[in-house]
Amino acid sequence: MRWLVTGATGMLGADLAALLAAEREDVAALSRRDLDLCDPAAVLAAVRTEKPDVVVNCAAWTAVDDAETHEEEALSVNGHAVGPLAEACARHGATLVHMSTDYVFDGTARTPYAEDEPVAPVNAYGRTKAAGERAALRHGGYVVRTAWLYGAHGPNFVRTMVRLAAGHDTVRVVDDQRGQPTWTGDLAAQIVRLVRAQAPAGIYHGTNAGLTTWYGFAREIFRLLGADPDRVRPTNSRDFPRPARRPAYGVLGHDAWGRAGLAPMRDWRAALRDAWPRLVAAKEL
């Protein structure tokens, strides 16, 4: 099978490209420098030239706060660019896997969001990603929503906590936002399983199971560091105002995996423990 991965130098794209190479899959890993997704002609040429069976779109504008004042620029990458990519895939017989986010929801739920729940984003980033979802779904293929990503190839919450643990006696972390920390290594493997199983097209939620708050996540990171988790102190979002509103509840349900005959991803704590040596080896910490 021939794979094309966009955004291949990002956190998820790098892990996915590495996994595919390790499994001796034929993969073209393209960075933003290699392919400007906002250029429809370049997108069509890349799909025509590379002749992929599968395209995984990991490229995105992910600066959530900056999107509030640069929504059009974010929309050009997260929304407008997805249509021509999906059209190119459909024209050349490639399956598209488009990555999205829990931020397409408003965060007011009390139980995990189902895959078919109506979207209602509360910030510019979420609106742009919802637009990308609509464009991808018009042409079939998969939309995989994820959340709270960490990995060995980019800035993320784990790296931030490790840095703060080294320089501060105590760290205040919000305890009123709930979600699912998700390791890019697990997500990459789940994407490969999804495609190989030839699962029905549609929306899947690619997050590790369970739920916690940023405070709970931080305490687990401190434990793995060998630091006292009580150095992490709970606070609330009002004490850390940000330009973009964050959903208070971003927990995603995983029923679509079972309907496709696939197991959902494992608990976030087990994933973090397994990821830890790889993060250290990659000098992430």
Instruction: Compute the average pLDDT of residues 30-38.
Output: 96
- Tokens describing residue 143: 């939309």
Q: How many domains does the chain have?
A: 1
If one counts every other C-beta atom within 10 angstroms of the C-beta of residue 32, the result is 15
Is pLDDT above 80 for 284?
Answer: no
Distance between CA atoms of 147 and 256, rounded to whole angstroms? 17
Is pLDDT above 70 for 191?
Answer: yes
Q: For the chain, give the percent of residues with pLDDT over 70.
A: 99
**Is residue 90 included in any domain, yes or no?**
yes
Distance between CA atoms of 109 and 247, rounded to whole angstroms? 10
Burial category of 52 from C-beta neighbours within 10 Å (exposed 0-12, middle 13-18, buried 19 and up): buried
**Is residue 69 included in any domain, yes or no?**
yes
Is pLDDT above 80 for 283?
Answer: no
pTM of the model: 0.97
Residue 200's CATH number? 3.40.50.720
**Is residue 49 included in any domain, yes or no?**
yes
CA dihedral 241, 243, 247, 252 (to 10 degrees): -120
**Residue 206 and residue 144 in contact, taking contact as beta carbons nearer than 8 Å:** yes
Distance between CA atoms of 123 and 114, rounded to whole angstroms? 20
**Is residue 165 included in any domain, yes or no?**
no
The model's confidence at residue 282, banded by pLDDT at 50, 70 and 90, is confident
Closest CA to 69 of 236, 249, 242: 242
The model's confidence at residue 230, banded by pLDDT at 50, 70 and 90, is very high
Instruction: Compute the average pLDDT of residues 162-181.
Output: 97
Distance between CA atoms of 270 and 239, rounded to whole angstroms? 30
**Is residue 241 included in any domain, yes or no?**
no
Is pLDDT above 90 for 107?
Answer: yes
**Is residue 31 included in any domain, yes or no?**
yes
**Is residue 129 included in any domain, yes or no?**
yes
**Is residue 39 included in any domain, yes or no?**
yes
Full residue range of the structural domain in which residue 67 is found? 2-155+180-210+252-265
Q: For the chain, give the percent of residues with pLDDT over 90.
A: 96
Distance between CA atoms of 94 and 3, rounded to whole angstroms? 9
The residues carrying an active-site annotation are 125
